[in-house]
Each structure stands twice: as C-alpha cells, then as structure tokens.
Amino acid sequence: MQEPEKRLPLLTDAETKQLIAQAQAGDTCARDRLVNCNLRLVRSMIGRFANRQVEMDDLYQLGCLGLIRAIDRFDLNQDVRFSTYAVPLILGEIRRYLRDNGPIKVSRSLKEMAMRAKRERESLSRTLGREVTIEELAEAMQVKPETLLMALEATSAPASLQTEIYQDDGNPIYLLDHLTDEQEPETAWADNLALRTVIAELAPREQLIIKMRYFQGKTQTEIAQCLNVSQVQVSRLEKRILQKLRVTLSG
C-alpha cells in the first residue's frame, strides 16, 4: 500500500487557479502541491469501488493520473471550480480501467465469427435483395444460430447515451434521460456524484430549471408558467444549461 498522504490544508479557488497557471507553465513544484492537496478528492472517488476485485492501489494510481490530466487540461477561462472539472476525469480513468479489465472477455473466435458474419450478411443481402434472418445467415456460415447470436451480441457496440429517442416540447430526448437505476452500485454512485458536483456550480435559477425538468418531470410549458417566462425562453435556457453540463462532464 502507498503511504497515506499528508493532510494538507484545502486550497481556495483562487490559490488553486494560480497554482494551475504555474503548473501549466512548467512549474513542477506547483504541480506537486496541487496533486498533494487534491489526493483526498482521489480517495473519495475510489472509496466506492472497494467491493470490486481489483487492487485499490491500482485505482489510486489511476485516480492520480486523472487528477494530473485535469491539471494539464483545465481551462482557466472557464467559470468552474477545479474539483468540479476534475471529478469526471478521475472517474473516467478508473472506469476505463474497470471496463477494459472486467470479467467479461470476448474470445478471438467470437470476434472472427462476428466479422465473417458481417461480410456474409452483406453478400446475402445483395443476392436476396433484402435483409437476411439470423437463421439464414447461420445456415450460410454453417454454424448454430445461438452461437452466431452470441458472437454478434458479444461484439456489438454499446448504444450511445446521446442516442435520440423522441422529441419532447420540440427538444430531443436522449437515451441518457431514460436510464434506470439498474446498474452497478459504484457506477450509479459515481455518476450521481459527478452530476451533483457540476449541478452545484450552476446559478440558482439554472439549478431550479434542472430540478423541475429532470427531477420533478415538469414540461417546459409548466416550468415557463412557474417562472413567468415563455416556453421558448425555457427551451433556450435548458439547452444552454445542458451544454454547460456536457462540457464540464466530458472534461
């Protein structure tokens, strides 16, 4: 285990940004101080991953890597606290590692079968002049349909969270808006923590709009009535707020 970090005093926002400017200019002492003063943030991120069968030291090092990248990439012109910006990058490093080193591995044979299926499907579709069924594709490849399905599902790309599902009040509703809570506890915790952190940085009116829209399920028209503004104004405000959140969360 690594030695516990010293309990350094928390930096003010102004001190943090000054050190970031120095670090980005090549001051290694400023970088080291920033890292040391934010190690508690890293530890708070990895704490909920303790039930995973991975070495906590590995997650700690990955969290530190995310912290360093946040220091290097932070835009001093942004009106956002450094900790708000750093959280998604720290979590991103950890979750990327867990995803790439998870218990589910796709065998080479399944990958090769999926690639062959893609070529065969295109060929058959041109010959038949229509989409082919799984049974037809399996017969052409001389494999069992269930085996082919396993290969296709194992190698299929995950759906994007930004996939548009339908329109609501003239605005697109994305898959992200309809995710349930049926996910791993640490993933839900990480997502909620990152989201709460960035929402806390919004102006009071912006927080109110997000609360009514996404936590109370109100339509833009209902929000407009509550705020005594037009629905068009609410639509513009919501788009601007969501864009701000996406920029911050994407790092």
| Residue-level pLDDT at 202 | 79
Question: Cβ distance 224 to 231 under 8 Å?
Answer: yes
Q: For residue 232, what are its two tokens?
A: 């068009």
Say what the pLDDT of residue 21 is: 93
Domains in the chain (CATH in brackets) are: 13-100 (1.20.120.1810), 108-155 (1.10.10.10), 164-250 (1.10.10.10)
CA 224: distance to chain centroid?
A: 30
Question: Can you give the three-state secondary structure of the chain, one letter per residue?
Answer: CCCCCCCCCCCCHHHHHHHHHHHHCCCHHHHHHHHHHCHHHHHHHHHHHCCCCCCHHHHHHHHHHHHHHHHHHCCCCCCCCHHHHHHHHHHHHHHHHHHHCCCCCCCHHHHHHHHHHHHHHHHHHHHHCCCCCHHHHHHHHCCCHHHHHHHHHHHCCCCCCCCEEEEECCEEEEHHHHCCCCCCHHHHHHHHHHHHHHHCCCCHHHHHHHHHHHHCCCCHHHHHHHHCCCHHHHHHHHHHHHHHHHHHHHC
pLDDT recorded at residue 25: 93
pLDDT for 194 equals: 64
Segment-wise mean pLDDT, segments of 10 residues, the chain, 251 residues:
54 89 93 90 80 77 90 86 85 78 62 86 86 84 81 58 46 47 47 67 84 80 86 86 75 55
Residue pair 62/44 in contact by the 8 Å Cβ criterion:
no
Q: What is the pLDDT of residue 20?
A: 93
Q: What is the pLDDT of residue 94?
A: 84
Q: Quick one: pLDDT at residue 113?
A: 86
